[in-house]
Each structure stands twice: as C-alpha cells, then as structure tokens.
C-alpha cells in the first residue's frame, strides 16, 4: 500500500485501496499461477455441506438455549406464535360460518357414515366422511380426526383410508376422515415448488400444510357442534402427508389431546444431508424463517401423548431423521415428567400402510383417550365395495376457490402509492426494518477475512486487461467463482463493476461482448454466485431451493449474500482503488442486484436487464410478498442510480417517482447498453 486514498461515492470513503499493479506477461508467470482452482463439482459439494451445516445449526439452536421446564413454559407462547406465523395461520379462535352440509348417509351394521362438506373459510370447501357409532355413548363418542396422505382419486383420498376409520368406529370412536386439498373432490395443489416451480410460494410464505392444518382445526370446530361427539376427547392421526399434518395440527391446536403421526417424521439436517428432501411433497415441511425444527414444533404438543410411527426402510422418512426428533423431543417430555407419554414404533418396511402401523397408532389413541388397549383385529373390517357412495359433492360449487387457494390463503401486501418524500421516508424505514427482521433473516454474517484462490487468465481477454480466475469463500467452506479484470490504465483509481452471471448466461465462459468497451478503464468482477454453474438438473435445483426454505431462506437470498461478499472482496479483500461501484444483473440476477443495492450502500449504481417485475414471477425472497414486491425494493436504492437496459418496465415506474423525490439524487436512466450505463461513471 502506497497511501490511503479516499473512495468516492456512497459509503466507500474510508476503505484502504491499493494501486492496481499490471500483470506479468505469460513469459514471466505470476507466483500464484500454480494455485489449484476448485472444480464446479467440488464447489457444489461445498454448497451442499454448507446447507447441511446450516441445518445442524438450526437443530442445535432450535430451543434457543432453553433447558428447563420453567424456561420452556415462559417461552412456549412465543414458539407457538412463531410457528403459526410461519404457516400463515391466525392466532386465537377461528371465526366465520362453516356452512356445513350433510349430503348423504350410509347405514351400516353398528355404525353410519355421513358425507359432509364444510367451508373452512369462504369458498374453501372441505370434503370428508364422518363415521359414527350406531349406539351413541353417554356424553358423546370420543373422536379421531384422520388426515389423509397422498392417495389420488376423483372421489377424494378419503376412500383409500376407510379401513382406518372403520376400526375406530367399531371401537366406540367417531372418526372424521378428511380429504387433502390436493386429492380431494375439488382438487388443489401440494407440489407447487416440488414440481411446478411456483417459487412465489416462498415469497408468500405459503405451504399447503398450512391449509391442511387449518382444515383439521376447522373440522374440530365443526365436531364441537355435533351432539353425538365428545370433542373434548379429540385425537389426530394420519400417514405420510397426513403424518406431517398430524404433527403440525397437534402443535397448533391443544384441543387434539393425543397425536400419532405415521410415516411423516423428519429432521432438517439429516434430510438435507441425505438428499431426502427430493422424496417429499411441499406439505411435509414448513418454510422455516423462525428456524424451528420438528422437535421444537413437537415440543408444542408436550406433555400430551405422542406416538411417532415409522418404517426403517422408508426412503421418505428414514431413521436418521425420526431418531433425531425422538431423542431431542424426549428431553422436553422429561422436563414435564411425562416420558411415558412419548413413544415410538418402527417396523422393517418401507413407506407402506400395514396392519402393524395401524395397530400401533390406533391402540395408542385408544389407550390415552378411552383408557383401553383392546385385542387388535381387522377381521371384521369391510370397505365399501362401491366407493362412489362416499362421494360428497355432485358438482364443484361455482364459488369454490380451492384451486387458487395458494394465491389467496396468505394475503399479499398492497404496495402503497408514494406521493411525497416524507411519506417515502416513513415507508422506506419500515421496509428496511422488515428486510432485516423478516425477509432477509437467512443472510449469513459477513466474515472479516477471505480464503482466496487466483490464477491468471490466458485468453484473448489479455488484449484488453489483466485478468485472473478467482475463487473466494463467501461463507466458511462455500466458494464462489469468477473472473477479475484490472485495467492497465495509469489512473490512480477506477470505477468498478460486479457483473452477475446467472445460469442462463453460461453458454461460453469468456463471452464478454457487453463489457468489451469498458475493459480499459474499469475494474470488473464477473461473478458466478453459488448454484449458478454447478450443472444442476431441474430436480436437483428444486431440492436445493426447498432445502434453503427449510433453513428459513431462499437460494436467491443466499446468492445475495455472495454478491455482498463480492463487494467486501473488492474493497476490503483486494483493497482496490475504486471510485464507485456498479452491480449488473440480468433477469433473475437483476432481482439479486436490486436487493444488493437496497441493503449495501457502498453500491453506487444498479444496472438491470429485463428484471422480474414481481416475486410472483418466480425469484424468491422469504415472505417478501407479505410486505412488498421487487420494484418497491428497488426504490430503496435512491438517491443512488438505477439504470435499465432498453425500456423501463411499467412495474418500475414508481422507482422513477421515488428517485425524483430525492433532491440532488440520481434519476432512473434508460440506456441501450451496459457500456453506456458504465461510462456515466468513468
């Protein structure tokens, strides 16, 4: 370092730059030319290890330091609020008419079946079969809410689970078998992120498990109106997806006195580590911004009786996951002195519905609700030979909103229209707080040091600037790759560009047409954030994104962290003499660039090429749509500059309004090329 230079533009003053030294020629290789660069496969493995490490950290910290019953009882209400908020469910009692109707009755020996439909919220229809003993017990029959797994049928999933209800009704219970929202008489969606790339689900914080839990709670509301039923003796069970919903519903609603989830038990770290997330539907998990794990969710059930039922060869819910849940949850039951109320059952099968699993779950519920464990037999269980008699609806009601419930169950925010600077200052202050406290909680701490690899670029780029392939760690063990180009100009300091490469930009590694004109006078870092250049298939990418959501974040937020660390790399790591700093992104990477400009004031300018106009279009930030949308976040860049290649999309016109409100600030620019945008900073 020869001397301290002041870095001009927002937030750059005070860094310590170094003069850019020209690279040595190919005949005189640089000292670090022998450094071995990590391959895409090695960096992908590092990415996976990083996800696993995050999962292990969630597991270790999920109880937030609580170690006694007194501490837990004090903290439990907040855990419940956090869990309900993650699901998008309201706190407190549910209101609104159920508009329940009985559309058919079947009289059978010793019991009857009622075909029932109710609206858990206006237009959200729930279909199910209520099995009632022929002889009404004094005070009403205890009740089991049975939440189905994934069993496709136009008659609803319920027809595949008749035998579960029949055992209960023959032993004095009422059993209400609920269709899932996916495989119901009015079909909806469970596999939005898993199959359909509906990543706006993450930006809404929407998960179909929330609707399933809501429907189960509302089913219990309905059962409380039935004189044949003693809803104070309610339990819940189900398998597969219904197993996961059994966990969530019992945690959310204390009216479920006993729970027995079958084949639906998971823990974050083992599922990410062993690539099990890909095996499961969206409804199995929660998008985990509060950094809970299934043990801390299950702790909300304690000390109520809970039986965890699993198969040792189940690929969806393997032992590594369910054993960890049981071990961590047992400590909570120990706090209560209620270890006898937590039990496990496993058999040496796969993901199957067998008599052994039904016996374990059913007798557990009978033991704790009815006080008996009768000899188990299914010999007298006879399913309906014509399952169509269990159909509830003859036609889909015109006002049904089941198919679009993923877009309306959690309301998206209405972004306010900004009229003056005072209004914007209030709004932007609130928005920045929300970015920190809700939307970007998944950002990792920005470490002070870098682990850096460099090797010279030997290509035609040498004719324009000195270049290096560079790799640096943005988190411990998480390495990103790029190219760093330094001008040969004699100027003391230069403007800098961080050029974000997306997966669609990687046809040819050194295809730099759009920056040729700025090579001579600009420091350029072409950055490939994590997961951009690993060669991942669509299923692999979907699993990575779902895994990130299990960790309370999104892939795009993790990539945002890489961009922020790239800023640190240029300024604090390489100590380059920078006059101002621009970030450029195209399409999805344009969204990442917007968020980088919104949170990092050392970025002087953001240049955008075809940015997404809304989180509804795909690129996700956790819960963002509950508060804002991408164009409003872009407004946070003002009074610094935002430039668009080509037209300014209509959705971004409010950004122009916000920019004009700042006296002396930079106005939104429309440019024809990246070079044109950058030469304004030369």
User: Which are the contacts of 339, defined by CB distance < 8 A and separation ≥ 6?
Assistant: 330, 333
Residue 466 sits in which domain range?
A: 420-679
pLDDT value for 1: 30
Burial 466-491 (b: 16+ CB within 10 A, else e): bbbbbbbbbbeebbbbbbbbbbeeee
Identify whether residues 442 and 591 lie together within a single domain: yes
* Within a domain: 606: yes
CB 345 within 8 A of CB 309: yes
HEC secondary structure over 547-605: HHHHCCCCHHHHHHHHHHHHHHHHHHHCCCCEEEEEEEEECHHHHHHHHHHHHCCCCCE
pLDDT value for 509: 64
Question: What whole-number distance in Å separates Cα of residue 483 and Cα of residue 538?
Answer: 26
Identify whether residues 391 and 481 lie together within a single domain: no
CATH of the domain at 379: 3.40.50.1820
Full-model pTM? 0.92
Closest CA to 615 of 592, 586, 640: 592
Identify whether residues 111 and 230 lie together within a single domain: yes
**pLDDT tens readout for residues 71-114:** 999 999 999 999 999 999 988 778 889 999 999 999 999 999 99
Q: Tell me the three state secondary structure of residue 544.
A: helix
| Residue numbers in the chain where pLDDT is lower than 70 | 1-34, 506-510, 681-682
Question: What whole-number distance in Å separates Cα of residue 252 and Cα of residue 424?
Answer: 38
Identify whether residues 403 and 508 lie together within a single domain: no
Identify whether residues 281 and 426 lie together within a single domain: no
Burial 321-338 (b: 16+ CB within 10 A, else e): bbbbbbebbeebbebbee
* Residue finishing a domain among 359, 387, 408: 408
Identify whether residues 149 and 207 lie together within a single domain: yes
For residue 509, with 0-12 CB atoms within 10 Å meaning exposed, 13-18 middle and 19 or more buried, which class applies? middle
Tokens of 403: 């198919």
Identify whether residues 435 and 398 lie together within a single domain: no
* Within a domain: 289: yes
* Within a domain: 55: no
Question: What whole-number distance in Å separates Cα of residue 442 and Cα of residue 433?
Answer: 14
Q: Tell me the three state secondary structure of residue 213.
A: helix
pLDDT value for 511: 76
254 DSSP 8-state letter: T
* Within a domain: 14: no
Question: What whole-number distance in Å separates Cα of residue 177 and Cα of residue 219?
Answer: 10
* Within a domain: 504: yes
Identify whether residues 490 and 377 lie together within a single domain: no
Identify whether residues 483 and 370 lie together within a single domain: no
User: Which are the contacts of 586, defined by CB distance < 8 A and separation ≥ 6?
Assistant: 500, 502, 504, 505, 608, 609, 610
Which helix (H) or strand (E) segment holds residue 202: the answer is helix 200-204
Our CA dihedral for 287, 290, 291, 297, rounded to 10 degrees, sits at: -80
Side-chain-side CA neighbours of 171 within 13 Å: the count stands at: 26
Question: What whole-number distance in Å separates Cα of residue 7 and Cα of residue 95?
Answer: 59
Q: Where are the alpha helices (DSSP H) in 337-464?
A: 355-369, 405-408, 421-434
Identify whether residues 267 and 333 lie together within a single domain: yes
pLDDT value for 5: 30
Identify whether residues 399 and 437 lie together within a single domain: no
Length of the chain equals: 682
Tokens of 170: 């023959």
Q: Tell me the three state secondary structure of residue 175.
A: strand
* Residue finishing a domain among 408, 435, 455: 408
pLDDT value for 31: 45
pLDDT value for 97: 94
Cα three-residue angle 580-586-587, rounded to 5 degrees: 140
The partner residues of 670 in beta bridges, in order of sequence, read 644
pLDDT value for 507: 61
What is the separation of C-alpha 557 from the centre of its chain, rounded to a whole number of angstroms? 11
* Within a domain: 41: no
Closest CA to 158 of 147, 143, 167, 144: 147
* Within a domain: 117: yes
Other CB atoms within a 10 A radius of the CB of residue 17 amount to: 24
User: Which are the contacts of 117, defined by CB distance < 8 A and separation ≥ 6?
Assistant: 100, 101, 103, 125, 126, 127, 128, 392, 393
The number of folded domains in the chain is 2
What is the β-pairing status of strands 605-609 and 256-262? unpaired
pLDDT value for 29: 38
Distances (CA, A) of 64 to 68, 284, 498, 533: 12, 23, 38, 36
Q: Tell me the three state secondary structure of residue 244.
A: helix
* Within a domain: 109: yes
* Residue finishing a domain among 377, 408, 439: 408
Identify whether residues 439 and 536 lie together within a single domain: yes
pLDDT value for 2: 29
**pLDDT tens readout for residues 418-437:** 999 999 999 999 999 999 99
């Amino acid at each position: 370092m020869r001397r301290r230079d002041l870095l001009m533009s927002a937030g750059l003053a005070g860094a310590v730059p170094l003069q850019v030294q020209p690279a040595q020629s190919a005949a005189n290789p640089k000292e670090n030319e022998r450094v071995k660069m990590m391959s895409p496969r090695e960096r992908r493995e590092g990415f996976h290890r990083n996800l696993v490490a995050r999962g292990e950290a969630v597991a270790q910290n999920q109880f937030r330091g609580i170690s006694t019953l007194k501490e837990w009882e004090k903290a439990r209400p907040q855990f419940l609020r956090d869990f309900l908020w993650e699901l998008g469910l309201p706190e407190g009692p549910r209101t609104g008419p159920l508009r329940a109707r009985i559309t058919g009755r079947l009289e059978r020996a010793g019991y009857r079946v009622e075909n029932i439909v109710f609206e858990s919220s206006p237009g959200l229809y729930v279909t199910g079969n209520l099995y009632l003993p022929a002889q009404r017990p004094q005070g009403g029959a205890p009740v089991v809410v049975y939440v189905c797994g994934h069993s496709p049928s136009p008659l609803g999933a319920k027809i595949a689970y008749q035998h579960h209800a029949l055992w209960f009704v023959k032993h004095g219970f009422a059993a209400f078998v609920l269709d899932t929202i996916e495989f119901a008489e009015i079909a909806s969606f469970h596999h939005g992120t898993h199959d359909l790339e509906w990543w706006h689900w993450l930006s809404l914080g929407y998960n179909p498990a929330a609707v399933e839990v809501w429907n189960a709670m509302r089913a219990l509301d309905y059962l409380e109106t039935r004189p044949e039923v003693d809803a104070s003796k309610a339990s819940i069970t189900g398998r597969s997806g219904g197993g996961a919903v059994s966990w969530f519903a019992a945690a959310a609603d204390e009216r479920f006195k006993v729970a027995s989830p079958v084949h639906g038990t998971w823990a974050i770290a083992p599922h990410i580590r062993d690539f099990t997330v890909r095996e499961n539907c969206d409804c199995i998990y929660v998008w985990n911004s509060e950094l809970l794990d299934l043990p801390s969710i299950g702790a909300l059930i304690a000390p109520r009786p809970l039986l965890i039922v699993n198969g040792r060869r189940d690929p969806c819910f393997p032992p590594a996951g369910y054993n960890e849940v049981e071990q961590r949850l047992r400590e909570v039951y120990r706090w209560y002195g209620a270890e006898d109320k937590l039990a496990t059952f496993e058999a040496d099968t796969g993901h199957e519905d067998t008599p052994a699993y039904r016996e374990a779950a059913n007798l557990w519920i009978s033991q704790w609700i009815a006080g008996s464990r009768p000899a188990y037999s299914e010999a007298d269980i006879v399913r309906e030979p014509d399952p169509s008699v269990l159909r509830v609806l003859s036609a889909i009601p015109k006002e049904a909103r089941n198919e679009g419930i993923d877009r309306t169950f959690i309301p998206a925010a209405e972004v306010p229209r900004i009229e003056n600077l005072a209004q914007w200052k209030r709004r932007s202050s609130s928005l920045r707080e929300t970015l920190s406290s809700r939307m970007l909680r998944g950002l990792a701490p920005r470490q002070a040091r870098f682990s850096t690899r460099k090797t010279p670029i030997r290509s035609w780029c040498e004719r324009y600037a000195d270049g290096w392939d560079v790799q640096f760690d943005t988190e411990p063990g998480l390495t990103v790759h790029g190219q760093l180009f330094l001008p040969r100009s004699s100027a003391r300091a230069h403007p800098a560009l961080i050029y974000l490469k997306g997966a669609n930009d990687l046809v040819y590694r050194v295809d730099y047409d759009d920056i040729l004109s700025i090579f001579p006078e600009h420091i350029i870092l072409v950055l490939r954030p994590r997961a951009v250049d690993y060669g991942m298939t669509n299923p692999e990418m979907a699993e990575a994104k779902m895994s990130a959501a299990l960790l309370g974040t999104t892939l795009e937020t993790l990539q945002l962290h890489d961009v922020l660390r790239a800023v640190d790399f240029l300024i604090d790591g390489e100590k380059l003499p920078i006059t101002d700093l621009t970030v450029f992104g195209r399409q999805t990477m344009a969204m990442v660039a917007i968020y980088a400009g919104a949170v990092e004031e050392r970025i002087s300018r953001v240049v955008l090429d075809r940015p997404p106009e809304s989180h509804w279009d795909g690129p996700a930030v956790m819960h963002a749509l509950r508060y804002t949308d991408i164009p409003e976040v872009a407004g946070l860049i003002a009074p610094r500059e935002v430039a668009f290649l080509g037209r300014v999309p209509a959705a971004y016109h409010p950004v122009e309004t916000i920019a004009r409100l700042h006296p002396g600030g930079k106005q939104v620019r429309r440019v024809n090329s990246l070079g044109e945008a950058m030469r304004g900073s030369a």
